[in-house]
Structure 1
Amino acid sequence: MCGRYVADTSIDDLAAEFDAIAAGTVAELMPSYNVAPTDRVPVVLERTDEPPERTRQLHAARWGLIPSWAKNSGTAATMINARIETVADKPAFRGPVARRRCVLPARGYYEWQRGAGRTKRPYFIHPAGGLLAMAGVFEWWRDPSAPADDPHRWVLSASVLTTAPVPGLAHIHDRMPVLLTAEEIPDWLDRSNEDTGALLDLARSAAGRVGTALAARPVGPDVGNVRNNHAGLVDEAAAAQLPLGG
Structure 2
Amino acid sequence: MCGRFALTETPEAVQNQLGVADFEPFPPRYNIAPTQPVLMVMSGPPQRPGSNLPPRRSMLVRWGLIPSWTKDPKGLSLLFNARSETAAEKPSFRTAMRHRRTLVPASGFYEWRRAGGGSPEPYWIKPRKGGLIAFAGLAESWAEPGGSEIDTGAILTTAANEDLRGIHHRMPVVIQPQDFERWLDCLNQEPRHVADLLKPAEPGFFEAVPVSDAVNRVANAGPGLQEPVESSRVTGSRKKPAGDDSQLDLF
TM-score, normalization: structure 1?
Answer: 0.85
Q: What is the SS of the residue equivalent to 2:140?
A: strand
Measure, in 1, the Cα distance between the counterparts of 2:176 and 2:29: 23
**Superposed structure 1 runs of 4+ greater than 6 Å apart:** 49-54
Task: Give yes or no for the alignment of 1:228 onto 2:229.
Answer: no
Report how far residue 76 of structure 1 moved.
Answer: 7.3
Any conservation in 2 of the 1:15–1:58 contact (CA below 8 Å)? no
Match of 1:44 in 2: 41
- 1:36 maps to amino acid: A
Q: Quick check: which one's helix share is greater?
A: 1
CA contact (8 A) 2:107 2:133 kept: yes
Q: Could you tell me how far apart the structure 1 residues matched to 2:76 and 2:224 are? A: 28
Letter of the aligned partner of 1:178 in structure 2?
V
Q: Does 1:34 align with 2:16?
A: no
C-alpha distance in 1 between matches for 2:22 and 2:68:
24
- DSSP-derived class of the 2:121 partner: strand
Matched, 1:133 2:134: yes
Note the residue ranges of structure 1 that are not aligned, 5 or more in a row. 147-152
Given that 1:124 and 1:217 are in contact with CA atoms closer than 8 Å, whether structure 2 keeps it comes out as yes
Distance 2:190 2:61 in 1: 25
Deviation at 1:178, TM superposition (A): 0.4
- 8 A Cα contact 1:2 1:111, kept in partner: yes
C-alpha distance in structure 2 between counterparts of 1:75 and 1:158, whole Å: 17
The aligned counterpart of 2:110 is 110
Q: Tell me by how many angstroms 1:4 deviates.
A: 0.3
Letter in 1 for 2:69: W
Shift of 1:9: 2.4
Secondary structure of 1:34 counterpart: strand
Identify which of 166, 173, 191 aligns with 2:168: 173
TM-fit CA distance, 1:239 = 5.5
C-alpha contact 1:165 1:176 (8 A) present in aligned 2: yes
> Retained in 2: the 8 A contact 1:104–1:134?
yes
Instruction: Give the match's secondary structure for 2:194.
Output: helix
Q: Which SS does the other structure have where 1:223 is aligned?
A: helix
Displacement of 1:22 in angstroms is 3.4
Q: Which has the higher strand share?
A: 1
What is the rounded CA distance, in whole Å, between the counterparts of 1:176 and 1:237 in structure 2? Answer: 22
Q: CA deviation at 1:194?
A: 3.9
In 2, the alpha carbon distance for the partners of 1:219 and 1:60 equals 28
SS at match of 1:92: coil
CA distance in 2, matches of 1:80, 1:60: 14
Q: 3-state DSSP class of the match of 1:115? A: coil
Pick aligned residue for 2:191 from 193, 196, 201? 196
1:195 offset after TM fit, Å? 2.2
1:1-246 pair list within 5 angstroms: 1-22=1-22, 27=24, 29-48=26-45, 55-74=55-74, 78-127=78-127, 128-146=129-147, 153-204=148-199, 207-209=200-202, 212-237=204-229, 241-242=233-234
C-alpha contact (below 8 Å) 1:99/1:193 kept by paired residues: no
Deviates more, 1:36-45 or 1:5-14: 5-14
Identity level (%): 35
What are structure 2's unaligned runs of at least 5 residues?
239-251
How many residues end up aligned between the 2 structures? 233
What is the letter of the counterpart of residue 198 of structure 2? A
Q: Report the Cα distance in structure 2 between the residues aligned to 1:32 and 1:197, rounded to whole angstroms.
A: 34
Cα 1:238–1:167 shift into 2, 3 Å? closer
The CA deviation at 1:230 is 1.2
2:201 and 2:29 map into 1 onto residues whose CA distance is: 27
Equivalent position of 1:150 in the other structure: none
Letter aligned with residue 174 of structure 2: L
Supply the AA of the counterpart residue of 2:217. Answer: N
Query: What TM-score, normalized by structure 2, do the two folds share?
Result: 0.84
